[in-house]
Amino acid sequence: MLPRENVVSTQTFSFSQVQKRVAHVSGSTTGMESKLLYHLARKAEANGVVVEIGSFLGKSTIFLASGSKEAKQQKVYAIDPHAGAPVINKKFSGPTYQRFLRNIEGASVRDAVVPIKKTSDEAFRDWHRPIRLLFVDGDHAYQAVKRDLKQWGSFVVEKGVIALHDALNPGVGPPRAIVEVLLSQKDFSRFGVVDSIFYGTKMRPKTLFDWINWYFFAGAMRLTAALISFTSGSRPRKIKTAVQQKLVKTWLKRWLTGVTLAVARPF
Ligand SMILES: C[S@@+](CC[C@H](N)C(=O)[O-])C[C@H]1O[C@@H](n2cnc3c(N)ncnc32)[C@H](O)[C@@H]1O
């Protein structure tokens, strides 16, 4: 029998259909990142809800909810204070809650989303549900990302997945937080990078393939965090641009995405 909270719908939500429905919604996820979120939500190797920290206008929420709906899985808890910061797109610098609601309704996923109009810290105070997929894209400051990973990560069930946006973007917290929280022990494995999303599964590496994957991605993320940290101080602008923009944000991101798509095959 299905758990009580599962969303059952007769409508189909294939990725290409969802892409059309979401075409008018602004957001920070690229086409491939959206596809990854859709497939991670649809895959459901573990049992629990989906939690999204940082929904903005609902673009990523719609992909997560559509994937979950297609697999008749549990709802997406979409946490965002919707207070209008940080500004991504100057057109949408004010409060976002009403537009968020309109967008998820327009994409036919309102029944699969539980909006929580709070910061992640406020929402965490009375949280009690097991989580099978956690997507972190809220406050990008290092301490905030680290806290989100530790607090919310403790509710992620075995074989559940954590994914973070801006994992290879210099000037924000995720690269260092990933190294310090997700890669400090071997309780996460089966990593991958798709554009700027880093994801991993809560399980110890088991097979030879898991171990190779672990050392490859842990090494790559440690290198990324070290390169960003090395060039964060008072380095000449040319060196900063060459390392942070070209090496990390362009080449490393592209190579790691290529390896992920070819070997880990998340979709
Ligand atoms: C980069 S946007 C999210 C984009 C969204 N995931 C998408 O794909 O369109 C970041 C969002 O995080 C929200 N945010 C900022 N601080 C937060 C916090 N402490 N807890 C939860 N959300 C937060 C902001 O309101 C903003 O809407």
Cβ(56) – ligand 1 distance below 6 Å: yes
Between the CA of 153 and the centroid of ligand 1 the distance, in Å, is 18
Residue nearest ligand 1's atom 23 by CA: 138
Cα 245 from Cα 251, distance rounded (Å): 9
What are residue 136's DSSP bridge partners? 53, 164
The best mutation among 28, 55, 77 to test binding of ligand 1, ranked by most ligand atoms within 8 Å of the C-beta, falls on 55
List CB contacts of 212: < 8 A, sequence separation 6 or more.
none
DSSP state of 11: S
- Residue 87's pLDDT is 47
Q: What is the pLDDT along the chain (267 residues), one digit of tens a residue?
A: 445 567 767 677 899 999 998 999 999 899 999 999 999 999 978 999 999 999 999 999 999 999 999 998 899 999 999 998 654 445 556 799 999 999 999 999 999 999 999 999 999 999 999 999 999 999 999 999 999 999 999 999 999 999 999 999 988 999 999 999 999 999 999 999 999 999 999 999 999 999 999 999 999 999 999 999 988 877 888 888 888 888 988 999 999 999 999 999 999
Cβ(53) – ligand 1 distance below 6 Å: yes
Between the CA of 91 and the centroid of ligand 1 the distance, in Å, is 16
What are residue 135's DSSP bridge partners? 52, 163
- Residue 243's pLDDT is 87
Cβ(80) – ligand 1 distance below 6 Å: yes
- Residue 30's pLDDT is 95
- Residue 232's pLDDT is 85
- Residue 235's pLDDT is 81
Cβ(88) – ligand 1 distance below 6 Å: yes
Task: Supply the pTM of this predicted model.
Answer: 0.94
Residue nearest ligand 1's atom 8 by CA: 60
Between the CA of 24 and the centroid of ligand 1 the distance, in Å, is 19
Phi, psi of 64 (to 5 degrees): -65, -45
Q: Per-residue DSSP letters for 138-177?
A: S--SHHHHHHHHHHHHTTEEEEEEEEESSTT-TTSSHHHH
DSSP state of 182: I
- Residue 85's pLDDT is 63
Between the CA of 253 and the centroid of ligand 1 the distance, in Å, is 22
According to CATH, the superfamily of the domain at 15-264 is Vaccinia Virus protein VP39 (3.40.50.150)
- Token look-up 């190797």 returns 45
Between the CA of 36 and the centroid of ligand 1 the distance, in Å, is 18
Cβ(139) – ligand 1 distance below 6 Å: yes
- Residue 233's pLDDT is 79
Between the CA of 54 and the centroid of ligand 1 the distance, in Å, is 3
Domain boundaries, the chain: 15-264
Q: Are 24 and 94 in contact (CB under 8 A)?
A: no
Between the CA of 80 and the centroid of ligand 1 the distance, in Å, is 6
Which of ligand 1's atoms lies nearest the C-alpha of 138?
Answer: 12
Cα angle for residues 43, 185, 158 (degrees, 5° grid): 30
